[in-house]
Structure 1
Amino acid sequence: MSHGVGPDRSGSSVPSASVDGPGAAPSYHWPFGEAATPPPPRRPRGTGIGGVVAVATVTALLVGGGAGFGAARLAAGGSASATSDPARSTDPAPAPLPPGETTSTVEVARRVLPGTVMIEVGSGSGTGTGSGFVIDRQGHVMTNNHVVAGASKGSRIRVVFSDGRRTTASLVGRSPSYDLAVIKVKADDQLRPLELGDSRSAAVGAPVVAVGSPLGLPGTVTQGIVSALERPVTVNESGSADAPTAYIDGIQTDAPINPGNSGGPLVDAGARVIGVNSAILTLSSGQGQTGNIGIGFAIPVNQAKTIGELLVKDGRATYPVVGAQLQEGTDGVELTSVEAGGAARKAGLKVGDLISSVDGRRVETREELVVMVRTHRPGDRVTFGYTRGSSRAEAELTLGGRVG
């Protein structure tokens, strides 16, 4: 549950469905650059589901053959044919729209493309590509951790703007537990920070636009709707609630998202960022389709904003922990161990207790419990509903914290 319980380690595989295992919430698996296809989700929404996968891509793996050659050239040269005219405009950034106001998809693209970038990590045949977006005029760019994780081991980061400009970037900080990272390019007057919205305003059925560099094609815009909210998505699952696996209270969308879209913005009809595109659900191998099938997930921007501020300030972020190990029981999530001095122990919880709700919201899986805890910050108070033997009760926990 990477939710504040077990040892601090970066897991490598998540629930199922490339996101979670059979019966688990969606999850991802990320070695940067590979579109992994984990096991099927714990609660299948249909048949033949392969899993949720991170949507960064390694150009060498996914761009090949005749069509790939063209895509590789566009990515390398920033050709005008790879982006729309609005993206190449040198006009001043449009003024933000009043809260709640919407505009056309063409206008949304005009506002968002100049602030969205393609990110290349590595060099030569090992170059991986993802997306990101400018968040301030100091040159900070937000993206996914799995896009730039290789930079922590010395790989070079290069940023390609929608008008074809290219520059190097440095890694400011990253959080594997939230799958978020911030990189920095040199500040200049051509930077076009995107307006950050409020992910709490997202509504099922509302139109959204995803922007990024799928398959190495920069400046790509796709449209869809918010198809679900509060969807538990996990990347790199482990049995510990405190492990730095990414647990996301995802915004689900049917806007086409493919490998290379990772880290790009999901924006509302007012061109305001409401999420960071991070993963897709794919069909199982052998069914012929490994790209977008109409189910993608984004990290809510409110959470991304909080973590981004920590990364800019300190180069690292913290996540909440409860100090317990978890496993799924028949009527809730069972505590299999409780750490001395941890939040669960201090609240009076014991091994064998079955957690059935967090702040009144029912939980049935480890992933759900962890995701709900992760929507809070260390030091916050949360209420766990639980069963001990034949008795039901509630316990108020003050969440601990770890760096990750």
Structure 2
Amino acid sequence: MKSNYLTIAGLLFVGLLAACIAQPADTPAVLPTLESALPAASTEVVATEPQGGQVSYVDLYEQVNPGVVAIIVYYQENDSGQGSGFVFDDEGHILTNYHVVEGSEAIEVVFSSGYRVIGQVIGKDLDSDIAVLNVDVPSEQIHPLVLGSSEDVKVGQQVVAIGNPYGLSGTMTLGIVSARGRMLDSMRESPSGGYFTAADLIQTDASINPGNSGGPLLNLDGEVIGINRAIRTNGEDGVSTLSNSGIGFAVPIDVVKRVTPYLIENGQYDYPYLGIVSREELTLGEREYLGLPADVQGAYVISVLEDGPAAQGGMVGATNESTYIDLPKGGDLITAVDDQPVRTFSDLLSYLVTHKSPGDSMRVTVLRDGSQIDLSVVLTKRPE
């Protein structure tokens, strides 16, 4: 069982920190949307023409689908799996999730035209679950998708997903943005235990199922605002029911745009590291126990990693033993970074992942013993 703390410890790599949040046994699990390959894949389009609306879903689909690909992954012992992806640029770079191609022996990329080619992984980011493939194909097969901005995404706006669920390539589904700023465990373990955390994910109720992993989440202008990554599912042990339950998660495109050029050039991306352990939110009872004002929001610092950036900058973690749900007293409450309000730990991670790099200085405002204090922290590279 994972712990109740989000470990930014050796983490806080741009907001992708070691995070381990305990879930009750009946809590739905969050699963990657990679699907085992089926014997045959047919094409199914779930698209609806709007009635009197400004957008034609048919036009959107015909505009975008040529840039969406199905990905078939071959493993040892004749095992295989499948996911989705999309064309990133004119150079033949394909974006998908890392978990789609993890452990693969060979990767087959299938374009909407039916053209098939072998793809090579040239860059991977386990923290945000992104991988870049390179393919050598005729220019007429290359249709890069337009990248939008996830910063402009609003809860309630309509979105569409196009991908390869259950081997049904070219499937388009419609929904809305359900929430922003969600967090999931990344695929990389932290040196101190637990996992780093992927931050600022987009939550959507657009139907996303196994096989959708790596495909685009788009606004109604046909711009990519995220890469579909995972779904939340119910069932025994959280894994017996793999169909969509209306809760899907996508990596925000602003993170993708920041990371991908490094993956193409260097094969990897280095996230900033703060070096603290925090928790996402505090209840009123916990605030009262810690002596924190009920009307002041922030990220409570459970501990500060020795010799880390936060420690070097003078940040203080909790010091007193606790008998209250393992929540020690005495830690700083981070209320702002670079004058940007921090309401929850997720806000802090989102800011780091989209705005900061190793070597950057960051002003951290904390509440300590009832007084507001400004600290200067120099972020370092997330430890391997």
What's the TM-score, normalizing by structure 1? 0.74
- CA deviation digits over 1:261-310, x for unaligned, max 9? 11100011011101110111112427974321111111111110111111
CA contact (8 A) 1:178 1:247 kept: yes
- Pair 277,285 (structure 1): closer, same or farther in 2 beyond 3 Å: same
2:74 counterpart of 1:73: no
Distance in 1 (CA, whole Å) between partners of 2:348 and 2:368 is: 18
- In the alignment, the residues of structure 1 paired with residue 203 and residue 231 of structure 2 have an alpha-carbon distance, to the nearest angstrom, of 9
Deviation at 1:177, TM superposition (A): 1.0
User: What CA RMSD, in Å, does the superposition of the two structures yield over aligned residues?
Assistant: 3.2
Deviates more, 1:114-123 or 1:342-351: 342-351
Residue in 2 that maps onto 1:301: 253
Q: Distance in 1 between matches of 2:34 and 2:19?
A: 17
SS in 2 for 1:107: helix
Evaluate the alpha carbon distance shift between residue 388 and residue 55 of structure 1 in structure 2; reply closer, same or farther with a 3 A threshold. Answer: same
Distance in 2 of aligned mates of 1:361 and 1:233: 22
CA distance in 2, matches of 1:143, 1:104: 26
Partner in structure 1 of residue 107 of structure 2: 157
Q: Percent identity?
A: 33
> In the superposition, relative to structure 1, how do residues 218 and 156 fare at CA in structure 2: closer, same or farther (>3 Å)?
same
In the alignment, structure 2 segments of 5+ residues that lack a partner are: 1-5, 48-52, 288-298, 319-330
Which residue of 1 is the match for residue 366 of structure 2?
386
C-alpha distance in structure 2 between counterparts of 1:210 and 1:292, whole Å: 13
| Counterpart-to-counterpart distance in 1, 2:150 and 2:235 | 31
TM-score by length of 2: 0.78
- Aligned residue in 2 for 1:361: 341
Is residue 313 of structure 1 aligned with residue 265 of structure 2?
yes
SS in 2 for 1:245: strand
Matched, 1:232 2:211: no
* Aligned residue among 377, 392, 395 for 2:375: 395
| Cα pair 1:142 1:183 within 8 Å, conserved | yes
- Is 1:334 equivalent to 2:284 in the alignment? no
1:40-92 residue CA offsets vs partner (Å, 9 max, x unmatched): 7xxxxxxx541222111222xxx5xxxxxxxx312xxxxxx5156x9xxxxxx
* Residue-pair matches, total: 338
SS in 2 for 1:262: coil
The correspondence for 1:51, drawn from 29, 39, 44, is 29
Does the aligned pair in 2 maintain the 1:134–1:192 contact within 8 Å? yes
| Structure 1 residue 252: Cα displacement | 1.1
1:98-247 matched pairs, under 5 angstroms:
103-123=55-75, 125-151=78-104, 155-189=105-139, 190-235=141-186, 245-247=196-198
Instruction: After TM superposition, give the deviation of residue 118 of structure 1 in Å.
Output: 1.0
Q: Secondary structure at the match of 1:137?
A: coil
Shift in alpha-carbon separation, 1:216–1:131, aligned structure 2, 3 A = same
Q: CA shift at 1:148, angstroms?
A: 1.4
Q: Which residue of 2 is the match for residue 95 of structure 1?
A: none
Q: Secondary structure at the match of 2:101?
A: helix
> How much has 1:109 moved relative to structure 2?
0.8
Partner secondary structure for residue 344 of structure 1? helix
